[in-house]
Amino acid sequence: MVCSKLRIGILHARWNKTIIDNLVKGAVEKLKLLNVSEENIIIESVPGSFELPFGTKKFVDKYEKLGKPLDAVIPIGVLIKGSTMHFEYICDSVTHQLMRLNFDLGLPVIFGVLTCLTDEQAEARAGLIEGKMHNHGEDWGAAAVEMSVKFE
């Protein structure tokens, strides 16, 4: 399939907005660089990363029913360790459920969740710290395109 015809969904959590916004920006810029049409990049949000798995299913189902099926989805979230085990439980469950959705939905669901111990780790992985790491959103955009067309 020609990349310009691909329809890619981005579903982002709203926690850690500054970091999220840069990750989404990186993913969108990479998708456009790979010739995905802007009107075929569909962005929606959910409250937090815990809502990403079920939100992804509802997102995919919504566009299937609209007759505009998605070719891939990039759930994006930023989890930063606090002072309790809340972080560990969300990271583990969200990771496993997003992986499962690839098989349940039969389309690429890219792992766009940062699981960081500090704000700085997350900022670096969103390309927000000059000279330190790159924006991981770019990697997720590239993975979404590759997995949408691979083995077709």
Ligand X SMILES: CC(=O)[C@@H](O)COP(=O)(O)O
CB of 146 to ligand LW54GNZ2, least distance (A): 26
Based on the residue annotation, tell me whether 136 is a catalytic residue of this protein: no
Distance between first and last Cα of the chain:
8
What residues are paired with 138 via a beta bridge?
A: none
In the range 76-115, which residues lie near ligand LW54GNZ2 by CB under 6 A?
77-80, 90
> Does 13 contact ligand LW54GNZ2 by CB under 6 A?
yes
Encoded tokens for 141 = 């955009």
Q: What is the DSSP letter of 3?
A: G
- The burial class, CB within 10 Å (0-12 / 13-18 / 19+), for 117 is exposed
Which residue is nearest to ligand X, using beta carbons? 82
φ/ψ bin of 131: left (φ > 0), alpha (ψ from -120 to 50), beta (otherwise): left
Contact partner, 83, from ligand X, ligand LW54GNZ2, none, Cβ < 5-8 Å per class: ligand X
Task: Kindly tell me which of 91 and 124 has the beta carbon lying closer to ligand X.
Answer: 91
Question: CB-wise, 15 or 63, nearer to ligand LW54GNZ2?
Answer: 15
Indicate the SS3 state at residue 29: helix
Binding mask 62-91 for ligand X (x = CB under 6 A): -----------------xx-xxx-xx--x-
Binding-site size, ligand X (CB under 6 A): 8
- DSSP letter string over 7-23? -EEEEEE-SSHHHHHHH
- Which amino acid, residue 80? I
Catalytic positions:
86
Interface contacts to ligand LW54GNZ2, rule CB under 6 A: 13, 15-16, 47-51, 77-80, 90
